[in-house]
Structure 1
């Protein structure tokens, strides 16, 4: 139990830059309090002590402003940011590493018994005020924009916006060296290319292209400085700071000076740079 609580606190600190330490998270974050209440209530629910589970869930709602039915199934590292007004129905199922913002509803559209609430896969982010209604499936890695109303299944990696929600794009679910490198550079400069933003995929792809360009430009600039020094030129011996995280090993060598360009697939939003292009 304590290991799980520690994991919950760590996931809050990883996803919320306002979280300063574990004690602050444990004592002041209503999303964490609602989750701890729910774990106890869900245990009572499975033991068929259902009135007691509902009673304590009502107390949790009074204290946190978050309503989670004790019958809902929630995975690990679940994070509710701010939390006020979040409603999660009885038959809702939530995977691992899911993030919900305030005002989110995982609701039903029918009074019939049985499965009537949504199922969210792993690594789903649902923006503030969004509504996901009915026994639909939200694929792993999907993003639901703020105030969107989702009424149909969402593919893996899709970004949904609008009322009713429409698909703005699909983010490829890959774990290549390029993806890991981009994510590291994004974290270093303060932009989350893949996680908590509700921007449509074309915008995120454009930022990915900029990150790729920065990486290649820095590598070639260092190569040029070494070559000038080798020919006797006077170049200040100041190393350009890396933007990548030191412990990240992407397994990718720096581009050679004689390469004609770096070609990346258009689906990842990358660019093609050539050595005869100066100032780009």
Structure 2
């Protein structure tokens, strides 16, 4: 996918995800979460190139200062990723984030150990993470899951789970069965909105 096609996809995704959007120009100029994602995509490319790790790290820190979102350039993030409101999001170096994932403000995808191996979470496709949630350690959140606001998640959860509480406890999503639990429909507001999880 070309750079221009990726930018257009990210813009279209932001418009689809946020009902407050009035125009692409508004998103392009005013959405710090989107700016952070674009800076990450450049920094990640540099991170993988010989001799550019320092430049990648400096770009990620400049993006953090400008947007309030810190994404380590070593993290692996899929397509149509969206950060709503942006501020306070932290994504660690070994985090893996699938396609069609949405994070709200204050989310941390962090580590629990000082080791140099995989120490950050893996987030499956179509996951929604509520404001202030902390997902910590080398754990996996299955595709199509929802993490409630302010949950502290330290254990893996299977696909199509709802995870709430401190520590986070997973339960199956209502009406989610098999492969039908995962997919584009799960990223629509009506599919994941549940007042009990306070997103």
Which residue of 71, 87, 104 maps to 1:68? 71
Once residues 56 and 8 of structure 2 are traced to their aligned partners in structure 1, the CA distance between those partners, rounded to angstroms, is: 24
Does the CA contact (< 8 Å) of 1:44 and 1:52 recur in 2? yes
Q: Residue in 1 aligned with 2:26?
A: 24
RMSD (CA atoms): 1.8
* 1:151 matched residue in structure 2: 154
Superposition pairs for residues 38-117 of structure 1, below 5 Å? Answer: 38-48=40-50, 49-117=52-120
Residues paired across the two proteins, number: 188
Q: CA deviation at 1:116?
A: 0.2
Q: Comparing both chains, which one has the higher relative contact order based on Cα–Cα distances under 8 Å and sequence gaps of 6 or more?
A: 2
The answer to which of 152-161 and 164-173 deviates more is: 164-173
Q: CA deviation at 1:169?
A: 3.2
Matches within 5 A, 1:114-193: 114-171=117-174, 172-173=176-177, 192-193=189-190
CA distance in 1, matches of 2:139, 2:57: 25
Give the 3-state SS of the residue equivalent to 2:93 in structure 1.
Answer: coil
Distance in 2 separating the partners of 1:77 and 1:173: 24
**Structure 2 equivalent of residue 12 of structure 1:** 14
1:175–1:139 distance in 2 versus 1, CA, 3 Å: closer
Aligned to 2:195: 199
Offset at residue 200 of structure 1 (A): 4.4
SS in 2 for 1:55: helix
Is the 1:148–1:165 contact (alpha carbons within 8 Å) kept by the matching residues of 2? yes
TM-score (normalised: structure 1): 0.64
Q: Which has the larger radius of gyration?
A: 1
Length-normalised TM-score, structure 2: 0.89
Q: Which runs of 5+ in 1 are unaligned?
A: 177-182, 202-280
**Stretches of structure 2 lacking an aligned partner (at least 5 in a row):** none
CA distance in 2, matches of 1:136, 1:41: 25
Q: Is the 8 A contact 1:143 1:198 kept in 2?
A: no
